[in-house]
Amino acid sequence: MSNLTMMTEEEKLEQFTQRIEAGDKIEADDWMPEEYRMALIKLISMHGISEIMGALPEKEWVPKAPSLHRKLGIMAKVQDEMGHGQLLLRVAEDLLKPYGKNRGDLMQDLFNGDLKFHNVFHMDTRTWGDAGLIGWLVDGAAIITQTNMLGASYGPYARALQRICAEEVFHAQHGEAIIMALAEGTEEQRAMIQDALNRWWDALLMFFGPASKDTTGSSKQDVTIKYKIRTKTNEQLRQAFFDKYVPRILSLGLTIPDPTMHYDEENKEWVYQQPDWSEFKKIIKNQGPRSQARLNLRRTSYENNAWVRDALAATVS
C-alpha cells in the first residue's frame, strides 16, 4: 500500500472512495475529504444535541408521570437520551479535533443558533398523552431514521447507533405501553391521545425532512447518501414510517388528522397532505413554540454552572 504522506489529494480521495465503496469503515484518525468530515460533524452534532434538547420536553413530565411505575419508566428513558447525547458528542468531538474545537464550542453554536436541534423538540407538551406519544411515535420515527444509518461508512457513528437503536426500541415500547393504557382507559384518557396525535402529526411528518431541497433551500440528504452514511431518502423514510405506524394508529381506534391520507395501491405509496414547510423553516431557526424557552433553560444552567467548570478545571491542572 502506498504511503499516505506521499500521495496527492486526488489519490487519497480515490483510495477513500474505494474504501467506502467496498463497505470499509472509516475511523476517526483516517484521512477523509473535508466535505465528508463537515457532513459528519453537522449530522452527528445535530443528532447529539437533539438527544440532549429532546430530554427537556420529556423531563417536563418526569415528576408528573401518573404512577410510581410510570415515573421509573420515564426517568430511565430520559436518562438513556442523555447518555445518547453524551456518546454522540464524543464522536463529534473527535471529528472536530483538526479544527481545534471542542464541546464548549458546540454549546456556543447551539446558543447562537448555528447548531440546530430536531424540529420535534421545539414543540409544546401539554398533557401526559404527549409524553406517551413522544415515546411511541417520535422515538418510533427516530428508530426508522437511525436504523437507516446503522451501516454508515463512518465506523464510530455506526457503532454508537448500534447501542442507541437497541435502547430506542425499549423507548418505543415504553411509549406504546403508555398509549395502550390510555387507549384502553376512560373517555378522557382516549381523548387525551387523540388530541396529542392531532397536535403532533405535522411535526412527525416534518421529522423526516423535506422530500427535496427545493422545499427549504437546502438538504444534506444528497451528500450523506453519496458518502454511504445513509441509504434511503427522506421521503422513503417517511413512507416507511407510514407503513409501520398508520395501521397501528388506526387499530387503537384513533383517527389520523389528515382526511386525504390513503394508500395508493398502484404506486405503492401513501398519499398525504404536506405539512406547512414554511413552519418547519421557522422552527429550525429556533422560532418554534418552545425553542427559546428550552434554549434559555440550557443557557441559564450553562451560565449558573460556570463556577463549577472553573472549579473542575482548577483541580485537574
Binding footprint of other proteins on the chain (CB under 8 A): 52, 55-56, 59-60, 62-72, 75-76, 78-79, 82-83, 85-86, 89, 128, 178, 181-182, 184-186, 188-189, 293, 296-298, 300-301, 304-305, 307-312, 314-315
Q: How far is the CB of 107 from other proteins (least distance, A)?
A: 10
| Rounded Cα–Cα distance for residues 289 and 132 (Å) | 20
Q: What is the nearest approach in angstroms of other proteins to the Cβ of residue 122? A: 15
Name which of 88 and 161 has its Cβ closer to other proteins: 88
Closest CB to other proteins among residues 162, 296 = 296
Q: CA separation (Å) from 158 to 25, 111, 253, 317?
A: 9, 28, 37, 34
159-to-14, 91, 152, 193 alpha-carbon distances in Å: 25, 10, 9, 35
Instruction: Compute the CA torsion angle 65, 52, 109, 206 (nearest 10 deg).
Output: -80
Closer by beta carbon to other proteins, 22 or else 68: 68
Q: How far is the CB of 203 from other proteins (least distance, A)?
A: 19
Dmax (CA) of the chain? 72
Nearer residue to other proteins within complex by CB, 36 or 200: 200
Min dist CB 241 to other proteins, Å, is 27
Planar angle of CA 72, 74, 79, nearest 5 degrees: 95
Q: Calculate helix-pair angle for 34-59, 291-304, nearest 10 degrees.
A: 90
88 touches 44 (CB < 8 A): yes
Q: How far is the CB of 11 from other proteins (least distance, A)?
A: 40
Which C-beta is closer to other proteins: that of 15 or that of 189? 189
